[in-house]
Amino acid sequence: MSRFELRIDQAVVETEAQAHELRGAEPRIREAFRLLAERLDRTPFRRFAEARELTIETLQVSTLPFDELLGPRGAERLADELYCELGRRIGK
């Protein structure tokens, strides 16, 4: 079995939070992308070579409040939102 790889060039968080609050979000964002890659690895996306080559220039999630991202399930919630947005993009 080949290894699934998710490459992220840049992640931007737009918020009015203070810089010290924003630093607390970084580990959750990293974990969210790890969870997203795990989830994609269990879908048909994993089996098809052309799907693994999919490039999405911009993926925006605006439905997750910053304080929820910093909460105990923040990474999981962000991963869910990213997965849903990817599904909408691929389904177009």
Please indicate, yes or no, if residue 51 is contained in any of the structural domains. yes
Please indicate, yes or no, if residue 10 is contained in any of the structural domains. no
Q: Which string of DSSP letters, residue by residue, matches 46-86?
A: GT-HHHHT---S-----SS-HHHHTSTTHHHHHHHHHHHHH
Instruction: Decide: helix, strand or coil at residue 25.
Output: coil
- pTM: predicted TM-score of the whole model, two decimal places: 0.74
Confidence of residue 1 (pLDDT cuts 50, 70, 90): very low
Q: 74 is in which domain, residue-wise?
A: 19-91
pLDDT in tens, 26-63: 899 889 988 988 888 887 766 655 555 555 667 778 77
How many domains, in total, are found in the chain? 1
Please indicate, yes or no, if residue 7 is contained in any of the structural domains. no
Please indicate, yes or no, if residue 13 is contained in any of the structural domains. no
Please indicate, yes or no, if residue 11 is contained in any of the structural domains. no
